[in-house]
Structure 1
Amino acid sequence: MSTPEPASGGVPRVFAVIRALSRVPPEGARVTHLAQSVGLTQATTHRLLQALVAEGMVEQDERSKLYRLSVDFFALAAQAGNTGGLRALCRPALLRLCASLGDTLFLLVRSGFDAVCLDRAEGPFPIRSFTGDIGGRVALGVGQGALAILAFLPEDEREEVIRFNLSRVREFGVYDEVYLRTEIERVRQLGYAGRNTGLLDGMAGVAVPVLSAEGRPVAALSVGTIADRLNPERLPTVVALLQREAAQLGPRINPFDPVLRRPSQSLAEPWPESAGPRSADA
């Protein structure tokens, strides 16, 4: 008979599985993939996963049978970091930019193949945008904020999004795969998305990605304004202000913030008093 391993012997294996789950796509991964990733047998990996499911730290999709870290796990981790959440963290930056530029600011985050407007600070000019008000969403690649997020995703994720969203962005009439890939490369070289596509008549926008400490595009800061206000002379100033705020925000973002995994859920939560008013003119 084999000697029973100490009670703490399974702890490193549990954390190995958790770390492996942190690297899988948002939809999750199969037991076989996770077992190969951590170097354990499929039976052992399955047993560890079921224990984590029982504790609420991992969830399994009923249809696909894929495993992923649960919202409870991210919520627990978030309590150890920035408890105010992404909206509260970014709200002062939105207000500063809105006051400095006199334009409308948007905070967008990725949600699967879409970008969701998590917050908005109103400027004095009436504008139209792809996401509309807070909670609106648009396919990644459509509009400057969604394009800024897409352009800086890791290559494999970026390719997956392009394949899935190509038919969706074509609905706007001016997009095809060559154009989209050209725009993505342009954004990566410049560090911002700022070309006026003409899709919203009289409107223009510019956006920069907010990169986490690990270099992942977790959000985008975007300006929406009338086209005349984003002329070639003013554009560099707007970009510089956006990039300065994004550079300060990125390292402060908690990678376990549940908003980054389920942004739509956070929109139903009460607005934290510490974050100030919802709109710039409130």
Structure 2
Amino acid sequence: MANGRLKARGPRQGGQAIRRALAVLRTLAVGGERGVPLAEVVQATSLARPTVHRIVHVLIEEGIVERSERTGNYIVGRQVPELALARPSRSPLLIAAEPHLAAASAQLGDTLFLTVRTGLDTLCVARRIGSYPIQVLSIEVGVRRPLGVSSAGVAILAAMPSAEARKIVLANETRFGAYRTDTATVLGQIQLARRRGYNLRDVGLVQGTKSLSAWIRTPDGQPAAAITLSAIRNRLSPRRAIEVADVLVAAARAIEAATARD
């Protein structure tokens, strides 16, 4: 320590191997139950194929990754949810959001999702099904996607400084092809969401749907999550989209206020 200040530390020795293994594991998490073929892992991580092959097989030996006998794809292993049980409680954000998700879903009648940022990805952590006869269940709780792919991901990026959002989009560039989008499209969506104050996706991940998302910040101002409504297209006319946006933005601000009090 010099002049009472801690010296900045460089990357920890041996950290690169751990980060590469985590990048592989996160990519497999995006595949969910269907898994991910090795070629897609290579593309998504930008690692050399022999490196990915070696990491995957070490993770298999440790029970963290498994290979599907039916498809040959690689999937997250059974040990991962077992390890997750060691986490003692739900996050303060999820606890604070639950009553507001319930209230907004009851008011609007459509399915709502709570999605959080985790590294370069989004993770769906809660879903509240509405009362309208036709519901859009576009994503399951636990599904992970690259930031910028979903309505929630664009909303979270829109709440960031432009340089930071652009850096994340470029880092995810190789992953966008699997979701039929590209860097220019995502950057354009982010700019439009900033102007609106929320994100409206005219073409949802499920054909014939729309979605609308409002970002949620942590008490220190960092964009950390988004609340999203997904509905069939005729449920989100231009007039109703404004009404839905008002409800979601109000819910997002209420969630922020609740987490600030904790």
TM-score by length of 1: 0.60
After the TM superposition, which residues 38-187 of structure 1 pair with which residues of structure 2 at under 5 Å, given as runs? Answer: 62-64=14-16, 85-124=92-131, 125-129=134-138, 132-173=139-180, 175-187=181-193
The residue that corresponds to 2:66 in the other structure is none
Residue deviations 1:3-47 (CA, integer Å, cap 9, x gap): xxxxxxx9x95xx65xx9xxxxxxxxx6159xxxxxxxxxxxxxx
Cα offset, 1:199, TM superposition: 4.1
Superposition RMSD in Å:
3.1
Please tell me the residue identity of whatever aligns with 2:210.
A
Cα offset, 1:154, TM superposition: 3.0
Alignment of 1:217 onto 2:226: no
Q: Distance in 2 between matches of 1:171 and 1:102?
A: 31
Q: Percent identity?
A: 29
Q: Distance in 2 between matches of 1:234 and 1:191?
A: 16
Cα offset, 1:217, TM superposition: 1.0
Residue deviations 1:149-194 (CA, integer Å, cap 9, x gap): 1222233431221111122123222x23222211110011111111
Structure 2 residues without counterparts, runs of 5 or longer: 19-89
Q: Distance in 1 between matches of 2:207 and 2:102?
A: 26
Structure 1 residues without counterparts, runs of 5 or longer: 1-9, 21-29, 34-59, 67-82, 258-282
**Larger CA Rg, structure 1 vs 2:** 1
Cα offset, 1:218, TM superposition: 1.3
Q: Which runs of 4+ in 1 moved over 4 A?
A: none
Residue deviations 1:231-270 (CA, integer Å, cap 9, x gap): 1121111000111111122143269x9xxxxxxxxxxxxx
Alignment of 1:31 onto 2:9: yes
Q: Distance in 1 between matches of 2:17 and 2:184?
A: 36
Please tell me the residue identity of whatever aligns with 1:241.
V
Number of residue pairs matched? 190
Q: Against the structure 1 CA distance between its residues 102 and 163, is the aligned structure 2 distance closer, same or farther, given a 3 Å change threshold?
A: same
* SS of equivalent to 1:108: strand
Please tell me the residue identity of whatever aligns with 2:140.
D
Q: Larger RCO: Structure 1 or Structure 2 (Cα < 8 Å, ≥ 6 residues apart)?
A: 1
Deviation larger for 208-217 or 240-249: 208-217
The residue that corresponds to 1:264 in the other structure is none
The residue that corresponds to 1:236 in the other structure is 242
- Answer whether contact 1:128 1:203 (CA < 8 A) is retained: no
Cα offset, 1:143, TM superposition: 1.7
Alignment of 1:202 onto 2:208: yes
